[in-house]
Amino acid sequence: MKKTLLALSLIFLLEACQPTMNIINGSNKTLIFKDKQEYFEKNFSNSGIDSSKVVFLGEVKYNELAFEIQRNKLSTYYGIFENGANFISSAQMHIPSCQGQIVTLFNKIGNDDVDVEKIATVNEKIHTELKLDADKKTIVFIYSYKLGRLQDSKIESVIANLKQNKTFDYRLISLDNYDITHLDLN
């Protein structure tokens, strides 16, 4: 009887592990937002993230970004724009989703950046949508509420770490376009 109970408990834990982690992390949920305002309120009202720095891409640009994310295996961090021109992809980091590595990469730019691969031009269609400050180094995050609280904490941690740096700025590219009923991209 004890063996049966132990076996059933083990099966339950193994089968229930992923859904339990989704609940704990707040990931893999699907919500529908009536507009951007509701989206901002549900996702950023308690985070300290400035909603004016959240960017929504049109369908063509969105699809190009999705292809680039998949091709370069990106997660959370898209990359860094140096003074609105040079682009440093997070794909060159050993672990492209590591908050410590993106902060280190940010701090190397303009100082000890001999081993940093800079691209003079990047996808212009996406670049122009970001409205970058030419005097700053801008970290571009990839954001979806479906990725849960772990992603939120990674983004908020980097922003908190660098916000005192006068050359720091950031943008979040939202991947949640299709969950917002009335998304005006103008």
* Per-residue pLDDT reduced to its tens digit, 2-22: 666 555 555 555 555 455 544
Each residue's pLDDT tens digit, 170-180 = 999 998 888 88
Residues 116 and 177 both lie in one domain: yes
Token code pair at residue 20 = 């339990």
| Same domain (yes/no): 1, 48 | no
Name the residue with tokens 């730019």.
Answer: 109
19 plus 111 within the same structural domain:
no
Q: Are residues 105 and 22 in the same domain?
A: no
- Are 20 and 71 members of one domain? no
Task: State residue 2 phi and psi, 5-degree precision.
Answer: -65, -40
Cβ 167 vs Cβ 95: under 8 Å: no
Question: Where in the sequence is the domain holding 24, given as residue range(s)?
Answer: 1-30
Q: Do 15 and 75 belong to one domain?
A: no
Same domain, yes or no: 52 and 3: no
Quick one: pLDDT at residue 123?
A: 61
pTM for the full model? 0.80
Q: Clarify whether residues 52 and 107 are in a common domain.
A: yes
Over residues 102-113, the mean pLDDT reads 83
Q: Radius of gyration of the chain from Cα atoms? A: 19
2 and 82 co-located in one domain: no
Residue 139 is predicted with a pLDDT of 93
Return the percentage of the chain with pLDDT > 90, whole number: 15
Tokens at 167, concatenated: 């050359």
**Statement to judge: residues 39 and 25 lie in one domain:** no
* DSSP H/E element including 151: helix 148-162
Q: How many structural domains does the chain have? A: 2
**β-strand 137-143 against 168-174: which pairing, if any?**
parallel
Band of residue 23 on the pLDDT scale cut at 50, 70, 90: very low
* Mean of the per-residue pLDDT values of the chain: 80
77 and 121 both lie in a single domain: yes
Span of 20-34, 54-68, 119-133, 135-149 with lowest mean pLDDT = 20-34
The pLDDT, as a whole number, for residue 72 is 85
Residue whose C-alpha is closest to residue 46's, from 153, 166, 164, 147: 153
| Token reading at 112 | 């000890």
Q: What is the mean pLDDT of residues 127-137?
A: 87
**What are the Cα distances from residue 174, in Å, to 34, 101, 182?**
16, 22, 15
**Contact call for residues 34 and 142 (beta carbons, < 8 A):** no
- Cα atoms in the 13 Å half-sphere on the side-chain side of 103: 15
Residues 79 and 49 in one domain: yes
